[in-house]
Amino acid sequence: MHLYQYLSSILGCVKTLLKEIIDIYMQKVSGLKEHCDRCLKTERWKGSVVLMVVDASFTSIGLNYFTAVVPKVEEFNKKFIENGRIRNLKELSSANINELREVWKNERSWIIAKNIASYLSTLSDDDKKALRTWAKNASLEKWREDPIGRIKGVGLITFQYLRMMGGIDTVMPDKIVKRVINEILVKAGLDPVNDDIKFIKRVEEIALECGYRPIELCWMTWLVQPEGKIMRMEKYSSILSKI
């Protein structure tokens, strides 16, 4: 019994330390909740699921999100969405790839976007409903067997990103998220987690234990990164309100 109490006490101390460390990180990104709310309500990019799919497809090739992806999604919005050339996922799925490449040269990104749009548009004529229906039913463990997970070029990171925008409170296991969260675990005297699926589940557990949502921990890791002399949260504050 004494051993059990001792171990429980040790575990309690570790959890307290973990929460204290995470709190310090989270205090640096105080405006995060609103952005995460918007993501989980499928309201990023003013609720345009077409732009969310394009965003995820551009992000999949690993360029800087704020300096490379966001400006190009905005350019696509001006050239194709605002003038009514592409009004929904169905129209994105049948869009001419050479015309799309006038905005973003990478053909692979457009093939991914068109394939995602093609599948989602079979679920509902309402784009938002289609994305949310897919996300609700998509299984993390069986992601490779999922119709979107099977699309060439869609890895687990893109799969998770789409699930988040479809309303699922989870995490993307990209290199920055893993580096920052594992750094926090090590500071708290805990083991880092390298396996992607185990990592996602571990972060979901940690978030709930520490009083945060998994999505908040995920976005925090990106926004606490310094660029030049200032943190991304400050540097891109005007962009965050749009996306």
Which pTM was predicted?
Answer: 0.92
Measure the CA dihedral 193/197/200/205, to 10°. Answer: -80
Residues of the chain with confidence (pLDDT) below 50: 1, 6-7, 10
Q: Give the number of residues written for the chain.
A: 243
pLDDT at 12: 54
pLDDT at 6: 47
pLDDT at 226: 85
Domain 44-165, CATH class in plain words: mainly alpha
pLDDT at 241: 83
pLDDT at 4: 53
pLDDT at 14: 66
Give the orientation angle of helix 2-27 with respect to helix 196-210, to 10 degrees: 90
Chain position carrying tokens 């991304």? 232
Task: List pLDDT tens digits, range 124-136.
Answer: 999 999 999 999 9
pLDDT at 31: 82
- Domain-wise residue ranges, the chain: 18-38+171-240, 44-165
pLDDT at 3: 53
Buried-state track 73-102, b at ≥16 Cβ within 10 A, e below 16: bbebbeebbeeeebebbbbbbebeeeebee
pLDDT at 7: 45
Which segments of 94-212 does DSSP mark as H helices, in order?
A: 97-100, 107-120, 127-137, 156-165, 175-187, 196-210
